[in-house]
Each structure stands twice: as structure tokens, then as C-alpha cells.
Amino acid sequence: MMQYDILIIGGGAAGFFAAINAAEMDPGAKIAILERGKEVLSKVRISGGGRCNVTHAEFLPKELVKNYPRGEKELRGPFHQFMTGDTIAWFEERNIELKIEEDGRMFPVSDTSETIINCFLSEAEGLKIQVRKSEAVKTLHWKDSHWEVGTQKSTLSASKILIATGSNPKIWKLLEKLGHSISAAVPSLFTFNIKDNRIADLPGISTHAEVKVQGEKLQDEGPVLITHWGLSGPAILRLSAWGARELHDLDYNFNVEVNWLPGFSSEEILEQLKVLKFELAKQQVFKKAQFELPKRLWQNLVTASKIEGNITWADLNKDELLRLAQQLTAAVFQVNGKSTFKEEFVTAGGIDLKEVNFKTFESRIQNNLFFAGEVLNIDAVTGGFNFQNAWTGGYLAAKAMTS
């Protein structure tokens, strides 16, 4: 039976990061990565539209954690040990420069995930980490003083194991047998499917808005993007992440209320409309967008308020003004289903966080069993935060496994 000091299960972001750091911290350690697929790092390859959004330019732990609907409390301590600045330095030390985009997302300057993959592969090779592909772990047993790990090809033994298998139900089943509780997996980071004339002909339009799920305590403010299928953009994606469980329980059928003029109430906008009725008396309402709204969105909202195309501001009656104020500040859209956000999608669910020591990422149930990445019930909004969780967990687990 092959014997190892550390076996890493899962050749993804967290697994590689942990293996490389562990090998550097303890150069004598015998380390292998077991990967069920023919290829390693396949999610890294497709991440960020092929560019790999490695991390996010947020350098305060207390601000960074706000991006994790699950894991907010638990990651605060770990981020004080290893976070975004450390990630940037880690890659810089390996001659990979990261750049910051306007919205804070950070990518390799090369704009390709290949740079990150090549770095991991060459580091692993240089550090003599065995990468065993096509080895899916099927069994895990603690025998006296070591772990016995069974794959379809072999049985291996190790003093310590790190589970970095991402959102994989089969491994969660094995971990349940070892005494862990698993929070059921549901999708996070998705866009809302909406068929509605107000947005049907406007794909590509993006505007700042306030969005609320009716009947739930879920709301957000930020850019909202109209797509061929419905609504997307950062504000919608954040709602989908924070509401991952609630929206799943609603079977993705719910109403979302959009305030296209965030910060203003219906009453305030009604007062503004009355002023416009006086000031723009002779102008047609339909023709010129107000409140700096995109013109075609304005026109669709005017039409939805049942205001005829040729009506002038002076001719607007009380009901029309009320309906327009309503459409501008509390337009209700019926959501029927969701679509995948292709740049980045994740699953909420995984190992119950109460069962993990976040100083070491070690199991509180079994000794010498460690976790990192998406296998835990941790996930984030879009923007590079999911990888940051993998880097932080991988690093701290490596430190604990080698100390």
C-alpha cells in the first residue's frame, strides 16, 4: 500500500493551492493529489469566462466577509491570516501579475486562466507532488493511526487527508458516514427568467436599480442588466446568492419588485412627475426619457402605465401619473425559473460549518481530516470571492497539516 504524509482529495483550486503550500512548508513531506477526472483544474480553466477571476480588490477582512452569504462569520478569522493581499503576493512571487478591473475583480494580466493553471502545474512538479488523475476516492477509513483511502485503482494510506472535492454529493455521503452533517446543495448565482413586455425588447440595457423579492427579506441595489431571458447583473446575482435557499424553496417562482429610481419612493416621484407636468406641459411624455433612465426603458414603462404615445405632459390625468410613478419605483415582474450565470456559478451547501475548526480547517468530528474550498457550506457572490475562499482554506489547512 502506498503511504503518504498528506493526501489531497480533489485536484481543483483548493486542492492544488493546499498541496503546493504544504510541500513548501514541509519539503520532506510525501504528498499526492487524487483527482477523479482525466484533467485537473478544470473549473479554473473555464472560470471568469476563461480569464480566471482570481480574487477581488477588497483588503479589509470585515468588508471582504460581507460577500459570503454562507461563511460570513466563519471566514473572518481566516481572512486575518490569509486573504486578498496575500493571494496577490503569492502569485507575484511566482511572476504572475494580477490586475484590478473597474469593479474590483482581479485577473492575471495575461487575461487567460492558462497562466494560473501553468503556475500550479509547474509548482507541483517542482515540489514533487504526485498528481494521480482518474482516481476517484470511493472509501475513507481511519485505521488506528492513519487514513486508508480507496479509489477504483488502489488503496493508499496517509497520516492526514484534505478533502477539496468541491460540491460533490458522493463525497458528502462518505463524510456523512464519518459523522459529518451536510447542508443540502442548492444553486447559487443565477439570473431570473422573466417574460414581460416591459423588458422584452431591451437586451443589453443596464441601469442602477433597487430590487426586492416580494414576501421575503431579500433586497439589493446595484446595476441590473436586462437580458434576452429576463434580469441579470450584479444586483440580481447578489439576490440569487443571498436568497439561494429561499428561492429554491419557492421553486424559482416569485415576484421581484424593481425600483428603477433607487432612493426615491413612489410618493416622491409622483411629486416630481407633477412638477414635470407643469414644466414640460407641451412635450409628449413618451418622447423624452426623464430621470436619466435609458430611453427605451422609459418608453416601455410609459406604455405599461397605459399612457398613449401622443399624450403631452399637460394632458396626464391623476391616475396616469400614479401608474407612471408606480412603474418607475415599484414595477413588479413575475419570475418563472432561473438561468445559469456563465461567468461563474456555484452551489450553496456542504459541510456544516459548526463542525469545522476555522483556525486550522480541520474537522471537529475526526482528527487529521481537513477541508478547503466549496466542499464546505461556504459560497460567495460573483467577483473572485469563491476562489479567495479556496486559497484561504487551502493555505491554512496546509499550514495546519504541516505543523
Ligand X SMILES: Cc1cc2nc3c(=O)[nH]c(=O)nc-3n(C[C@H](O)[C@H](O)[C@H](O)COP(=O)(O)OP(=O)(O)OC[C@H]3O[C@@H](n4cnc5c(N)ncnc54)[C@H](O)[C@@H]3O)c2cc1C
Cβ at position 110, least distance to ligand X in Å: 14
252 binds ligand X (CB under 6 A): no
- Pattern 53-82, ligand X, x by CB under 6 A: x-----------------------------
52 binds ligand X (CB under 6 A): yes
Query: What's the CA gap between 288 and 150, in Å, rounded?
Result: 69
49 residue type, one letter: G
140 binds ligand X (CB under 6 A): no
| Count of residues interacting with ligand X (CB under 6 A) | 37
Residue 251: what are its φ and ψ, rounded to 5°? 55, 30
Query: What's the CA gap between 313 and 327, in Å, rounded?
Result: 17
Which three cell numbers mark 197? Answer: 413586455
Cβ at position 377, least distance to ligand X in Å: 12
164 binds ligand X (CB under 6 A): yes
Residue 269 exposed, middle or buried by CB count within 10 Å (0-12, 13-18, 19+):
buried
37 binds ligand X (CB under 6 A): yes
Query: What's the CA gap between 344 and 346, in Å, rounded?
Result: 7
Residue 14 and residue 401 in contact, taking contact as beta carbons nearer than 8 Å: no
Query: What's the CA gap between 254 and 249, in Å, rounded?
Result: 10
> Which stretch in 264-272, 286-294, 350-358, 381-389 sits in contact with ligand X by CB under 6 A?
381-389
Among 2, 121, 136, 353, which residue sits at the site for ligand X (rule: CB under 6 A)? 136
User: Which CA distances in Å does 377 have to 68, 82, 256?
Assistant: 10, 19, 27
Residue 146 and residue 159 in contact, taking contact as beta carbons nearer than 8 Å: yes
327 binds ligand X (CB under 6 A): no
Determine what percent of the chain falls in helix, strand and coil, rounding each to the nearest 5: 35, 30, 35
Among 19, 31, 32, 36, which residue sits at the site for ligand X (rule: CB under 6 A)? 36
Among 244, 362, 374, 391, which residue sits at the site for ligand X (rule: CB under 6 A)? 374
132 binds ligand X (CB under 6 A): no
Residue 34 and residue 329 in contact, taking contact as beta carbons nearer than 8 Å: no
> Which stretch in 44-52, 62-70, 75-83, 301-309 sits in contact with ligand X by CB under 6 A?
44-52
43 binds ligand X (CB under 6 A): yes
Which three cell numbers mark 133? Answer: 488523475
Which three cell numbers mark 193? Answer: 427568467
Among 32, 35, 172, 325, which residue sits at the site for ligand X (rule: CB under 6 A)? 35
Cβ at position 52, least distance to ligand X in Å: 6
Cβ at position 104, least distance to ligand X in Å: 12
13 binds ligand X (CB under 6 A): yes
Residue ranges binding ligand X (CB under 6 A) = 9-15, 34-37, 42-43, 46-48, 52-53, 136-137, 164-166, 168, 170-171, 344-346, 373-375, 384-387, 390
